[in-house]
Amino acid sequence: MAVKKKLVVLFVVDLLIVWFSSFTAYLFRFDGYVPGNYLRQFFEYSLISSVLCLLVMLYLGMYRSMWQYASIGDLLSMCKAIVISWGVSYLITLLYMDNRVPLSVAIRTLETELLLMGGVRVFWRILGRKKKADRDNKIPTLIFGAGDCGMLVARELMSSTMSDRKLVGFIDDDPQKHFLTAFHLPVLGDRYSIESVVVEHRIKEIIIAIPSAPKAVVSEIINICISTGAKVKIIPGIHDMISGKISFSTMRDVDVEDLLGRDPIKTDLVGIAEYVQNKVVLVTGAGGSIGSELCRQIAPFRPSKLLLLGHGENSIYNIEMELRRAHPHLHIEPIIADIQDRKRMDNVFAQHRPHVVFHAAAHKHVPLMEKNPSEAVKNNVFGTQNVADCADKYGTERFVLISSDKAVNPTSIMGATKRIAEMYVQSLNAQSKTKFASVRFGNVLGSRGSVIPLFKKQIASGGPVTVTHPDMVRYFMTIPEAVQLVIQAGALSKGGEIFILDMGEPVRILKLAEDLIRLSGYEPYVDIDIQFTGIREGEKLYEELLTAEEGATKTQHERIYIGKPSIISQKELDLEFARLERVLGEEPKAVKDAIENLVPILEYVS
């Protein structure tokens, strides 16, 4: 009801403006004294003008607009209504009135109407915004990026009726923009000014709006921003800017992945399609973090059949339902099976005859495998042997083993069993028509067993966050990034290779924990404590991607390297595998000794 009253008031004000504009026009025309014969003309002209003006304004919906939220388009529509009604009014006076209305009177009337009606609406908009600003407790906000994207964000920030942010200004690394203004807001400096700007203007939130910048640059800026204690949000990608999707809904909180500073992977789509499209593809461990992402990224290449093999029914069901929703025409076959069951693996291969196998099923948790070495051997060694032998027996074209950087100079049971798995598929490649290859990479952010979910749970419960050692470092990739490179490596394989993925710079786990605490809105050691628990059994401070003898050569892909293949005797492997099989289920030391006959497990001293 209050809004209707305001619009009625505006209606009356417009009526008064029309009469006032006309009257002042006559006063100016006749130097302050209007002759009697023109007074009647004034009343007739004002009456016609006011009726037509209000009718046109009503027709164009000018009294349905909420002028405290009006845009330039609303003002232009108002001007159009005034000009139309003015033109028709003047034409009527020419045709039907005895005395012609002086042109100077008509023009001055139009000028005054435009000025006053527009001014009233602008004043109403400013007043409404000022009242809202005084009423709301807005968050002082800074935008990093005074380019096209930053301007789009600022425009929506300032026009959004739901926004609880108060835009203070911009930061931009371009020195030519410094001391300039946009939307009456200043560009306050470059990235090195962020800390002082945050303090001076009490900034609570920083929006990073540079979607086309290299990831390494964005990562550096994020680190500077989170060190100030302000909440940080980011525009995720340049595609949103191009398609005009920039809005508060596209903005998201900065995540740990943004801190890696890694540029998107360039993928040879043609090469991948050639070996996946219209082929039967088997993914073992398809319910796991890596396996499920392999399925997501393989599905768009339209394999003739996608086999989802896993031991856990719930995880296989979840990825099956997800893929069926996303790719309703894809032939998907869920298979509940244990890779340790050789007869079951033989049945699966005999029935489906997969052309391509991605072997992601494995036990990966280092401390758990130290306590259960027989299970590590059964799954990582003999499970891999079962799947690889079936691939060889049934004529699989390509077999890709998902390995780990922990296989290099292993200090753990898990790492040693992954190295033995690598050795087995390399030896099998020498005598098989199947192209066997391994892909070795480090930790993936967000995977099961990753430190990130653990840290997040600890932060959510108020801490402390536990880190094993202050100098612990690890290589990290995102799950989609790792899987893209795994699929790409499969396209490059000629058989027998160990592909090593470029993991970028190693990350200190302590810094990762500190960054995650800050990204959650807390201050490390103040709001959330960090405690050191000591290196766990089987762990080492840093991981390696190559043994000394493997070396590394480049491939045609800038992010994938090849380790020099080792010469492995199949007879020796068979002998040691038989020894391993005999000690399964015995004391952990006996199993570890049998593993070390194949791969020395280094004692790591911190």
Pick the closest to residue 476 from 276, 262, 240 (CA basis): 262
Alpha helices in 353-478 (DSSP H): 366-371, 373-376, 384-393, 413-429, 451-460
Amino acid at 388: A
Report the alpha-carbon distance of residue 85 to residue 334 in Å, rounded: 71
> Which tokens go with 242?
């191009």
**Distance between start and end Cα atoms, the chain:** 74
- Give φ, ψ of 106 to 5 degrees: -60, -45
**Distance between CA atoms of residues 422 and 437, nearest Å:** 8
With 0-12 CB in 10 A as exposed, 13-18 as middle and 19+ as buried, what is 602? middle
Backbone φ and ψ for 495, nearest 5 degrees, come out as: 110, 130
Strand order of the β-sheet with 305-310 is: 332-336, 305-310, 280-284, 356-359, 398-402, 435-440, 498-501, 560-563, 553-554
Q: Which amino acid is at 13?
A: V
Token digits of residue 113 = 């109407």
Nearest to 548 by CA among 483, 506, 602: 602
Cα 95 off chain centre by: 66
Residue 449 backbone zone (phi > 0: left; psi -120 to 50: alpha; other: beta): left
Nearest to 448 by CA among 293, 335, 323, 333: 293
Residue 231, class by beta-carbon neighbours within 10 Å (0-12 exposed, 13-18 middle, 19+ buried)? Answer: buried
- Smallest CA-to-CA distance from 484 within 497, 501, 496 is with 501
Catalytic residue numbers, as ranges:
406
